[in-house]
């Protein structure tokens, strides 16, 4: 069994999976959307987190040719980090908050962009996906042939961290997530560890 317990508040959203990957079981797509969109309202000290995240992400961003798209960008710290590096960027999130000029309201399973529109797709939100295959397919579609899929993943359940109340997808080890993405037609680069604003690894994927 997975080494974590369900939060009582979401006892009606059970986890399933005995292998390296696990996911919440939602009764329907609307329930998934409502659950994920609700996170912003209960997140504490979000302004402080966004400031720190913008700073540390800027320092570790890879070189990018063209525009960047940030998936699950919430209030847009990652969008602003790319722009600080001189890279045009836009974000998408189910709930970007009111009057957010940096992040579009939308679902990263269904990206409203043309094929080949971006030189990079960035996300640290794969622990909030409903369908990993769909996300990776959409990232591939909107990237140029030479584009980079930049994934930052929190350490997994066997690495000292379990999912919180709003995660919908999780892994035992970051390597398990990397292997799952690679199986969907991506070539993985080196894993680069980081510790702020949380412990995890950055992996650069290219189209196989």
CATH number for position 142: 3.40.50.150
Within-domain flag for 158: yes
Count how many domains the chain has: 1
pLDDT of residue 42: 72
pLDDT of residue 49: 82
pTM of the predicted model as reported, rounded to 2 decimal places: 0.92
Within-domain flag for 137: yes
Within-domain flag for 43: yes
pLDDT of residue 147: 98
The kind and range of the H/E element at 140 are helix 132-142
Cα dist. 167→24, 36, 164 in Å? 8, 8, 6
Task: Pull the structure tokens for residue 38.
Answer: 């609700």
Residues of the chain with pLDDT under 50: 1-8, 10
Within-domain flag for 62: yes
Within-domain flag for 7: no
pLDDT of residue 168: 97
pLDDT of residue 12: 66
Which of helix, strand or coil describes residue 126?
helix
Within-domain flag for 5: no
- The whole-angstrom separation of Cα 138 and Cα 115 is 9
What domain range is 63 assigned to? 12-207
pLDDT of residue 11: 52
């Amino acid at each position: 069994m997975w080494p974590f317990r369900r939060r009582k508040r979401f006892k009606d959203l059970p986890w399933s999976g005995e292998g390296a990957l696990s996911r919440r079981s939602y009764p329907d797509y609307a329930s998934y959307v409502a659950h994920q969109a609700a996170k912003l309202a209960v997140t504490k000290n979000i302004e402080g987190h966004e400031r720190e995240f913008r700073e540390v992400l800027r320092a570790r961003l890879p070189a990018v040719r063209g525009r960047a798209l940030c998936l699950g960008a919430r209030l847009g710290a990652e969008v602003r980090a790319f722009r600080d590096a001189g890279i045009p960027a836009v974000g998408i999130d189910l709930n970007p908050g009111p009057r957010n000029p940096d992040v579009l309201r939308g679902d990263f399973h269904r990206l409203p962009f043309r094929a080949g529109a971006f030189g990079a797709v960035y996300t640290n939100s794969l622990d909030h996906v409903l369908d990993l295959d769909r996300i990776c397919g959409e990232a591939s579609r909107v990237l140029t042939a030479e584009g980079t899929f930049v994934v930052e993943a929190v350490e997994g359940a066997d690495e000292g961290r379990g999912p919180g109340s709003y995660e919908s997808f999780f892994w035992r080890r970051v390597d398990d997530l990397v292997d799952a993405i690679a199986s969907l037609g991506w070539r993985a680069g080196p894993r680069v560890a980081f510790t702020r604003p949380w412990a995890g690894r950055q992996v650069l994927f290219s189209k196989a």
